[in-house]
Amino acid sequence: MDEGLISRHLVEPTDGSAGPLLRIAEDRLMPGAGYGAHHHADVDVVAVVLAGSLAHGWGGRATLRAGDVGILRAGAGLVHDEVAGADGAHVLQTYLRTAAAGQEPGHRVVRWSAVAARGWVDLGRPDARLWVARVQAEDTVAVPAGLRVVATREEVWAAPAATTGEGRITGPATVCVWQLDRARPLWAVD
């Protein structure tokens, strides 16, 4: 990893209790900092850009901006890098065990739109769903049940376990809600 990167793990179940979820990390990158070229296989990495921008270097150079969601399906394996733009980057990176091993790698970006400031992101897998909302100052939104990650200007926090029922969040904030198939996966460690 490059200098200029601060990474903090918010959730990291090692026992399979969160189904396909391996880790959720909060990453802060200084301008021009990156992760360095690294390998992934049989994992999906879902990046939600909270602030700044992040250039993804694999299969073309897609630049993600605040509110965008990048979905990297590593499949049988790939080497890639991500580098922060001129304003740096603040990113939530979620790692999910692949739903089907050995597939072709792929990457796509779901662009944020002020018209659709909240809603479900199609991850193309049956065992994990992601809901994202960018809540403006003084606005309050109803949030669906699930594992919640909330990012405000001051802090980022995750609920320690999946919550039940709807809740309400007042902005400014970015909210991610993960609904995960909680069936214990075969790879889980006792």
Q: Write out pLDDT tens, residues 60-83.
A: 778 999 999 999 999 999 999 999
Cβ atoms of residues 70 and 81 within 8 Å:
no
Beta bridge partners of 31: none
Q: Write out pLDDT tens, residues 97-156.
A: 998 888 899 889 999 886 677 899 999 999 999 999 999 998 999 999 899 999 998 899
Looking at residue 18, its pLDDT comes to 86
Looking at residue 162, its pLDDT comes to 52
| pLDDT of 190 higher than 50 | no
Count of CB atoms within 10 A of residue 125's CB?
A: 16
Query: Which residue, chain included where needed, has tokens 């909210």?
Result: 175
> 64-92 burial by CB neighbour count: b if 16+ within 10 A, else e?
bbbbbbbbbbbbeebebebbbbeebbbbb
Residue 145 has φ and ψ, to the nearest 5°, of -65, 150
pLDDT grade for 7, boundaries at 50, 70 and 90: very high
